[in-house]
């Protein structure tokens, strides 16, 4: 399913590259109503702008399996194999790394619980 120009413009206007995490508006995010919008947003998001938006996507009940798996693999879970799922990370990049690790854990748990929607998104 192709997004309309209006859907793309809404995403661009509210979740543009360079938007600081503190400026994110969860109410605007909640206006997204299709798995395709979340997938488009996940594809367009620059990870250097933070993980909060990606966490919202992973926690959304309209997130597709394909979007969740894309986020999971882009988070490079192989870098976290030496940690237990109950563990919190420490060190130089503790906050950012913990955010990514939390994203991985969320997707892992939700996927196992069949939380994500099966859609035509590949």
Would you mind telling me the total number of residues written for the chain in this entry? 122
Average pLDDT of span 78-86: 86
Is the distance from CB of 111 to CB of 59 less than 8 angstroms? no
- On the question of pLDDT at 93 being above 70, the answer is no
* Residue 112 and residue 118 in contact, taking contact as beta carbons nearer than 8 Å: no
pTM of model > 0.85: yes
In this structure, of 25-34, 52-61, 80-89, the range with the lowest mean pLDDT score is 80-89
The better pLDDT of the pair 29, 82 is held by 29
CA distance 11 to 44: 9
Averaged over 55-81, what is the pLDDT? 96
Mean pLDDT value across residues 53-74: 98
Residue 95 clears pLDDT 80, i.e. is over it: no
**Top-confidence residue, 21 or 56:** 56
The whole-angstrom separation of Cα 34 and Cα 38 is 7
């Amino acid at each position: 399913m192709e997004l309309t120009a209006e859907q793309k413009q809404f995403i661009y206007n509210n979740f543009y590259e360079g938007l600081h995490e503190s400026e994110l508006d969860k109410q605007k995010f909640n206006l997204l109503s299709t798995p395709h919008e979340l997938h488009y947003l996940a594809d367009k998001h620059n990870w250097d702008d933070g993980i909060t938006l990606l966490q919202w996507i992973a926690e959304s009940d309209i997130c597709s399996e394909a979007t969740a798996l894309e986020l999971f693999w882009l988070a490079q879970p192989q870098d976290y194999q030496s940690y237990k799922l109950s563990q919190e990370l420490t060190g130089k990049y503790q906050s950012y790394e913990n955010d990514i690790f939390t994203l991985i854990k969320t997707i892992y748990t939700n996927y196992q619980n069949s939380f994500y929607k099966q859609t035509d998104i590949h």
